[in-house]
Structure 1
Amino acid sequence: MTNKTGLLKILALVFALVTFIGCEINGSEYEENKEGSTKNPVALIIDKWVNGEIVKLKGDKVDEQWFTFVAAKSTQRVYVKLGTITDMYVYLYDSKSERIGNDFQISGSTGKVGFAEWSVKSGETYYVKVVGRNQNWTGTFWIGFTSMPAQPETVVTSLTSKTWANGNIVSSESGGTGEQWFKFVATADTQYVYFKYNTCTDFDVYVYDSNYNVIGNKFDAGGYGWSSGMIEKTSRLLKTGETYYIKTDNGVGTYWIGFTSFLAPPETSITELRTNIWANGNIIKQTDGGIGEQWFKFVATASTQYIYFKYGSCTDFDVYVYDSDCNLIGKKFDAGGYGWSAGQIEKMSRVLSIGETYFIKTDNGVGTYWLAFNTTGSTPQ
């Protein structure tokens, strides 16, 4: 009887142990199959933020969350934005569970954005593991991967040729991305990108092709000595009809941006000249609401054209003559200067092609004057 009782006790213990182990196995399988686990990773959507969360487990175990995506290009960026968790690590694995490159750590305050960039194979599936720094670091975050070197859900503003567009770089601490993106279709092989400063007078500019390769060097827009209202430009050799992207960053505040295929800033008024008729000229400083220059155009009526200047309040400025491809014709002409006064007349000449359109730019002066052209060399009346 005693032996039988002992045997029953042993069987009861074995049953309990098996039941306990079964519960642990089932619990483990459940954990592995939960959303965000290795067996059920959350699918990332290209150029979109996806919610993530690291939760505290029993004991000293550190939770982790898994995501998956199909690479859109050979170099892939994965972005993370901190929420209530403010220190975490990100790892990338291929479909064979082999780790890709180095891990990426991001720490800081809520809203901070960081990214890691890995070399991958376009079209292949990859897995991202996110963990807190240790068991004390839990909370929410956002994660995403992109088709361009910009954060998920970045707004890209389309630019129109010869038109100013509003720019505003908002820091990540203030709820922005710390950068701004624009795109445009090249209207000529040489494009001029203009910046008119407002509260932001110092930032960096990058131009990219449609594959997000940088075109030329970084352009340092503004900086010391530049103030609100002033205009600056950079140029790039591009392909007509192709789409290009502009990124501005490393600054905070508002500005305007535009592009043209000509040397004049966006929305510049170009006065058309008529032979032997004086046209009004007025150069207004950029800091006074002008562009610091003035533009005229005319059609050459002879192979030699004479251009006249009658001085008003402006008696000293520079003059440039361009063809329709923005090539400078001759040298800069120094109009007026020391000894010249209001009412006096001066002239210059250029050898041109009859029937072609030419442009005149005046700058480096302030005030009023008159301008005319003819073929005779005799002063217009």
Structure 2
Amino acid sequence: MDNIKNIAILGSTGSIGTQTLDIIEEHPEKFRATVLTAAHNWELLAAQARRFNPLRVVIACEEFLPNLRDALAGTSVRVEGGTAAIEEAAAMPEADIVVTAMVGYSGLIPTVNAIMAGKTIALANKETLVVAGEVITSLLKDSNSRIIPVDSEHSAIFQCLTGENRDNISKIILTASGGPFRNKTMRELESVTVDDALNHPNWDMGAKVTIDSASMMNKGFEMIEARWLFDCPPEKIEIAVHPQSIVHSMVEFIDGSVKAQLGVPDMHLPIRYALSYPDRLTSKRPPLTLEAYASLTFEAPDRKRFPLLQYAFDAIGKGGNMPCILNAANEIAVAAFLRREIGFMDMPRLVDRVMQRTQWISDITLPDLVETNTEARRRAEEELASFRTKA
């Protein structure tokens, strides 16, 4: 009997996607890649398809579809293009686990489709729960689908809560590296460059996530994600800056006990756990050696120097479509910063302005969020003109 799990990777050419393929290659007796998708990197997608021979590949940018078809001519791989094809692929019956590794809002509808199809979802797209946590939670109640988190912090919490009564949680402590600007002053932050921001001290991530880490927006998103994943109110979620990135997160219980999950800063670990859960698979990677980390330090984040973290708490406190507005504005701001059109501290200024000027809706549906995303992006693009510099 074939006990191999079929894996669909939405975003196979990114950091999480390529590391997921590493796990599949390490354990061919356990996993098979059946669907691979990418936004625009058709060359790497073609190379992956030739190596792993999936049933289907999809390139979101249809302008690259002819290139991809030519590259895979003579193979049995089904080649498609467009976002609709990715949304369809997320629900295809040949996939047991869907790894949602797409970046940003683009991961929302594919994740919804995977839920409707009853898939096990290895969630690496935190924006899905940031934008639509309430809607996603409701959908999961009426589905056989389940979400297993891939983010290292949420994987740590998930592991700490295994076998525990959720009612016994006193608080969740999300750790943060602090990024490359942890010790910079407000004045210094005004002049940091894109290259500075992309130089993360501990993790190798894609550009957008790396910028979010530098601004601490990523930790704000993770707080919102934790709120929905673990049904934990925001006031019971704390952020602890932990520069060594060894303690991936902690849970404090009502009796005062604190459980933590430790490991080297390597995303292969949480990916492997999500794919194999509830089992654990052996790893050939170097294990954590505590002697190498004689000092593990923790400190509170500075929400004045990193206001996007505060805006995330504000957004989830407001509720409704405000987290969706926050995410849309941030995606526009990060893209503009990466294009060197605005400065690093212009990002929170732009996000704040969009949050203040976009219509708030308290009771939301999925169509409301789709419309909100469009409106918030439009407003952010309009506001962007007043922020553009020669940064």
TM over 0.5: no
TM-score (structure 1 length as normaliser): 0.22
- Decide which structure has greater helix share: 2
TM-score (structure 2 length as normaliser): 0.22
Q: Tell me which structure has the larger Cα radius of gyration.
A: 1
